Structure 1
Amino acid sequence: MSLVSGDGAPHTFIVDVDKDGVIPNPTCSIDKCSPQFSTSTPYPFAVDFGPGTFTYYCSIHLTMMVGAFIVSDFGVSSSPSSLTIPQGSNANSTVSIMSLNNYAGAVTLSATPPTSWPPPFFGVNPVPISSGMTSTSKLTIYVPPGTSQGPYSVTVTASDSFISHSTNVAVNVPAPSFTVSASPATLTINSGSSGTSTITVAGSYGFSGTVSLSATVPSGSATTMLSSASVMLSATATSATSMLTVSSALGMFSVTVTATSGSTAPSTLVAVNGPDFSIKTSPSTVSLSQGSSAMLAITLSSVNGFSGAVALLAFPSIGGPPVTVSPTNLQVPSSGSVSATLTVIASSSGAYSTPISPGSYTITLNATMGSLSHTETIPLTVTSPSSGVGILASPIVIGGIVAAIAVVAGTVYVLRHRPKTKT
């Protein structure tokens, strides 16, 4: 800006930049001073301070020659200010130029990308700015192929003849990668049948290369086969598929499909519901008193066409009453169910059994066929017999009483029928 003296005398004009109202000497360490010029010469100032309203003074007439002026400016910003751009791709950010203090003019944009990147492109450049308004220009940033993974920055500068401002656009270049998925993710396979799932490998962030596929299952669970042991991905072929076939399945398990390329090896799971059997006990809990017994029904049912011989084994927890299962082997039909009986005896006393103390126990029931195994845990409670009733109800106690009565009766009989001795 410039000021012109009207009194015909040379002056030095001072701008109060720090707005403290103190008039400095002409050295002007903080405030801005014009050079001293001869009469009727414009007094130039370098406006290198921020926008706002400022007061200026005359060095000769400090109180008489006072005025104010407004410094206009513009601001620059970008949205979004952060971009994720895979190598070989581009993305856009909108650069906004805002008029401050009624700034009006044309602003030129430039961008400084990382070394080896091509210059970014602006949709509008220069950008015309009207007073009090905001104008925009679309910025396009291109990341060339082969760019290493990592964070980068592009500096955007907006300037006119006197003012220059800048903003940064952060650019994240992700590593090329790929994912693997299965559809459907769950297979239900009946006895003698097979199931299929489509395995899809999808590249991301510019991945290109060969991906190997493998399928694993728990030992003895099933046989698996992939229609393609490897697939090829590129910039144009970003996805590929292989068909997974599962046969000879037995029980419920998961197939793990792994896709491998270099050190990258994502995986996906395919849940398989194969031929199996279920186990159920009735009742599901047992409560009995000392000296009594209880029986439970064990039911094995076919699932998904299962058939085969299942072995049963039951045992109590430590200190618990003995248990027996009959029969110990059941042939489960392909449709339907079969039953067995589990017997629990809680002895209270006796010469040939260990008394079972009242308390809480468990019965563990195992049903097994080959690699298939199911376990049921049955809660068991043993209580003390009720006064009098429980004792009489005990088979062991009753047996003892009967034996005692028999001994007494035999003794009386012998005494009555022995021959009399003559005296």
Structure 2
Amino acid sequence: MLGGKLFLVLLSCLLLSSTLYLFEGVEAQPPLMVNVSTNKPVYSPGEDVVIKATVRADGTPVSGATVMIGLVPPGGPAVAYPAPESGIEPGSYFYTLHLSPSAASGVWSVSASASKPGYTAGSSSTTFQVVGGPPPTFTTDWAIYSPGIVPSNPTTEDPVKVVAWLRIVSTINPMPQSVEVLCLVDGIPVGGGTLTIPTMTPVQVYTPTRKYPAGVHLGRWIVDPNMKVNDVNRGNNEATFQFTVSSPQPEFDFSVAVSPTSASIMAGEEASFTVTVTLISGSPKPVNLEVEGLPPDTSHTFSVETGQPTFSSILVIKTVERTTPGSYAVTVRAISPLGGGLIKTATISLVVNKPPERDFKIVVSPSTRSIPQGESAEFTVTVLSVNDFKDEVALSAAGLPSGASESFHPPVGTATFSSILRIDVGASTPPGIFTIMIIGEGGGKSHSTSCTLIIEEIPAVTTRMETATQTVEVETHATQTGILQAFKGMLTGYNLLVLSALVGVIAALAVALITSRRKTPPKTLRESYCTVCGARIPAGVRYCPSCGAEQRS
């Protein structure tokens, strides 16, 4: 066992020296390719074993290398010897082993490792057999199988354990039994020894953990390498496999960005942003999204709250009308609990403006109506919503002349809506131009507008009567009742004598009137022209229906 430890120490020093040389800044050269062989495959105790190692790089022999020959005899211990270079054949190194007369029978393992500054160390292995020694004491069929490594996909930073399963297939000897096992990686022993198996139940064997360089490696398990056991089936005494060691993955990292980076909205509105989490290096890990620094009375949602980079999420920030106006720095935080608590942030500049005041306004059409006494006029009143005003508005009117009344259809509505204003004018309503105020009240607000109502006087009937001596003009409504009332008033101021004379005069006038009507038809004024705008208007109208001006004779 001491010799085995010495071999491992020498081999480790050799590898370390070549590694240190590389770290000193010397550019790595092609690896050394080593081939080891013996002058024959089978020997007897007392013979010489000539071991030859050739060292090449890119097919060219390499001189001046340090070559170590490792030997593991059946049952151990392992030993190592330097192999000097042949002075005749470049790149060839030799070592001669003299087998003692009591040399153990079995398979001897031979390995050769070479190193040289500026080159990557290399190694190779082979075996030879010694016959004629003491015979094995056990007759057992040993099997080693299912080789592998733990972890299964290591990196250069991971300690690796080489494993396999060992069992007795058959035996004629009692249990327990002991056997030697050996593990080689790339021809270099990495573990082994003598194991005692209590039963025929399979057991797992493994090597001490160690780190391996990046690349593909060849593993080899051997049971009873020195052939101390009478094993009739040597075909299951070895198990070989390959495993790959990769360079370590870079550490997990990511970035977070927001687009757009700023927004300006009214209180009560919402703003949308695209949050992108991008993988920078390493294997993806979950990332959680959070927001801080929102205005008061404000909510937010993410379309994707947790994801593995690279991914995107839509952030919606929703305000209400009572949200305090101002400028806010909103921070989007991306946190990876499984990535070592890594936190990345992005900032949004959010401006919340005061919302416009909700209101309404009133318009009326047409702006002017002209009607005669005793008739009605209609106006269309429209209540318009301003900035989404949604309250009910009640309508009323003021400024109507005496004898007039108004009605709205409908009197109340929710903006925007229209209502018909109807104004009924009595026969006794005085004529003139009137400004009607239309008032709307609702939602704590009051607004008004106006329209113009022109009331025209109904014209009287004028009759002109002519006689030979004088002209008498009587203005009446041409009803019999009116004429009788007029005469009744005239009679109350005279005595009987005067009454008789008056009757005679009236009779004469009546005869003259009848005669005059038979000769000349009466003249009646039916139309005239406005004294202001010149428009044609009915005779006797006090106000012009077109411009509303009062007519003067």
The TM-score normalised by the length of structure 2 is: 0.29
TM-score normalised according to structure 1 size = 0.36
Task: Report which structure shows greater RCO (CA 8 Å, sep ≥6).
Answer: 1
Point out the structure with the larger helix share: 2
- Which of these two proteins has the greater Rg computed from alpha carbons? 2
